[in-house]
């Protein structure tokens, strides 16, 4: 069942609830990186390397042309008479032809260079004689030795480490991995398996039109996308009813095949919130229940067998805040990677809230300017609103005990999306 502000009182006074840092350390204790496995380079996209990748051969493996042009001896271009154009040509994947003194041969980009060539004359710097004319190139401008070619091993020498353990193979790293592995296997951390269990009588799965007082379950799909983005495998179940036996059975079954089990809703202490009791009934351990955090007070964390269990509140903003602060660090731990960092940013606009004894992690825009990182809290947000999630790219801390944060004050932030260089459009509208 979705949880709301009215149940916060049931979580006990703030002094009885741990801070985010205390709860996270307690929950992650004993959670280790997963075992490595060998995979084909073509299957390594999105994976985290468990061992470094070394170049199986030089990159590039031989001298190649960097442009379409003519392989030449640079000294021949300054001799007054242009080099004689040979009928041979060099193409990528083919053999390099012999280059006699005083001659030139056409080479395509990426083609191996004749051993005798020491430069490539680009097409635009030469004029080819017409039909019937002597096959002598007219030089528009000569080039120096070493121009427009790539040396063997200039990217990496054979055996050189090109990718480190812990690096995730994103689209920018994948070409280097494929080239360096040269068909051999690479060693990656096994993908974490995550099972998502939305809970609530009021929920219907995405794609099905809700009726009456029922609503679309939205958090599970968002967390599933976050799991995939971090390199994990995920199964999203259909919403469970607020039934303690059904929740207990689902937890027991999910823990068999997943390193991380995440429930959405049912984490508070109301009459229809059964996640904590179901976890204990299944033989699990509750390591924290309730946080000095808004939104996200009712969250819980525990263990069931070898699985870590994270109970998210039902309200979207609260649930995704807890996922950011607990779920992503858990995936990082399973993958052997550092916890996503907190950054420091200066407020572009002041922020005022009622003084409370809980930390508030609220949605904010984060961008870079000439003076570093800047941030601005999204106005008028609460735990159930969806628009702030879509209009921001960070969580920013409004610390416990503070009412007003002044413009220019430094705040703690964690990026939840790409950081741009322009303020958000809503900053001037608010």
3-state secondary structure 182-228: CCCCEEEECCCEEEEEEECCCEECCCCCCCCCCEECCHHHHHHHHHH
Same domain flag for 28 and 45: no
Final residue before a domain boundary, out of 310, 334, 358: 334
Ranges of residues in the chain with a pLDDT under 70 are 1-10, 12, 15, 79-80, 430
> Does residue 159 fall inside a structural domain?
no
Q: What pLDDT was estimated at residue 78? A: 78
> Does residue 253 fall inside a structural domain?
yes
Final residue before a domain boundary, out of 306, 334, 362: 334
> Does residue 238 fall inside a structural domain?
yes
Tokens of 182: 């040269």
Q: What pLDDT was estimated at residue 428? A: 84
Between CA 191 and CA 331 the distance in angstroms is 9
> Is beta strand 138-139 parallel, antiparallel or unpaired with respect to 161-163?
unpaired
Final residue before a domain boundary, out of 287, 308, 334: 334
> Which are the contacts of 229, defined by CB distance < 8 A and separation ≥ 6?
none
Same domain flag for 231 and 111: no
Residue 122 maps to which CATH number? 2.170.190.11
Q: What pLDDT was estimated at residue 132? A: 74
Same domain flag for 45 and 139: no
Same domain flag for 236 and 361: no
Q: What pLDDT was estimated at residue 4? A: 33
Same domain flag for 236 and 180: no
pLDDT, tens digit, 9 for 90 and up, residues 5-58: 333 445 767 768 999 999 999 999 999 999 999 999 999 999 999 999 999 999
Range of the domain at 372: 343-429
Same domain flag for 301 and 237: yes
Same domain flag for 196 and 275: yes
> Does residue 158 fall inside a structural domain?
no
Closest CA to 378 of 404, 351, 405: 351
> Does residue 157 fall inside a structural domain?
no
Q: What pLDDT was estimated at residue 7? A: 39
Q: What pLDDT was estimated at residue 430? A: 59
Q: What pLDDT was estimated at residue 10? A: 53
Phi, psi of 361 (to 5 degrees): -105, 110
| Residue 391 per-residue DSSP state | T
**Residue 69 and residue 128 in contact, taking contact as beta carbons nearer than 8 Å:** no
Domain count across the chain: 4
> Does residue 328 fall inside a structural domain?
yes
Same domain flag for 175 and 297: no
* Verdict on whether the full-model pTM lies above 0.85: yes
Same domain flag for 317 and 422: no
Q: What pLDDT was estimated at residue 80? A: 64
């Amino acid at each position: 069942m979705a949880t709301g502000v009215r149940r916060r009182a049931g979580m006990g006074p703030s002094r009885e609830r741990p801070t985010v840092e205390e709860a996270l350390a307690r929950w992650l204790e004993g959670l280790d990186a997963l075992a490595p496995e060998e995979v084909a380079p073509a299957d390594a996209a999105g994976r985290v390397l468990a061992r470094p990748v070394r170049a199986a051969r030089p990159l590039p493996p031989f001298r190649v042309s960097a442009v379409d042009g003519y392989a030449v001896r640079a000294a021949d271009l300054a001799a007054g008479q242009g080099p004689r154009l040979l009928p041979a040509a060099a193409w990528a994947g083919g053999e390099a032809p012999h280059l006699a003194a005083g001659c030139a041969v056409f080479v395509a980009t990426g083609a191996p260079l004749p051993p005798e060539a020491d430069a490539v004359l680009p097409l635009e710097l030469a004029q080819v004689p017409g039909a019937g004319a002597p096959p002598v190139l007219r030089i528009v401008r000569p080039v120096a030795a070493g121009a427009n070619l790539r040396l063997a091993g200039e990217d990496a020498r054979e055996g050189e480490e090109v990718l480190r353990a812990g690096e995730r193979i994103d689209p920018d790293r994948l070409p280097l991995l494929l080239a360096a592995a040269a068909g051999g296997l690479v060693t990656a951390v096994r993908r974490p398996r995550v099972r998502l269990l939305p809970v609530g009588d009021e929920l219907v799965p995405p794609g099905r039109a809700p009726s009456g007082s029922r609503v679309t379950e939205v958090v599970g799909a968002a967390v599933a996308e976050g799991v995939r983005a971090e390199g994990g495998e995920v199964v999203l179940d259909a919403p469970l009813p607020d039934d303690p036996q059904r929740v207990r059975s689902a937890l027991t079954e999910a823990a068999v095949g997943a390193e991380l089990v995440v429930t959405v809703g049912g984490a508070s202490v109301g009459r229809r919130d059964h996640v904590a009791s179901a976890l204990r009934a299944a033989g699990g351990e509750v390591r924290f229940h309730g946080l000095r955090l808004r939104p996200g007070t009712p969250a819980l964390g525990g263990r069931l067998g070898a699985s870590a269990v994270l109970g998210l509140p039902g309200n979207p903003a609260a649930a995704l805040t807890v996922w950011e602060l607990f779920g992503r660090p858990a995936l990082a731990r399973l993958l052997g990677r550092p916890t996503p960092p907190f950054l420091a940013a200066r407020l572009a606009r002041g922020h005022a809230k009622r003084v409370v004894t809980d930390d508030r992690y609220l949605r904010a825009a984060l961008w870079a300017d000439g003076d570093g990182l800047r941030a601005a809290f999204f106005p008028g947000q609460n735990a159930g609103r969806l628009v702030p999630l879509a209009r921001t790219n960070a969580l920013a801390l409004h610390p416990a005990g503070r009412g007003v944060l002044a413009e220019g004050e430094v705040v703690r932030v964690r990026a939840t999306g790409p950081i741009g260089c322009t303020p958000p459009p809503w900053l001037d509208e608010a």
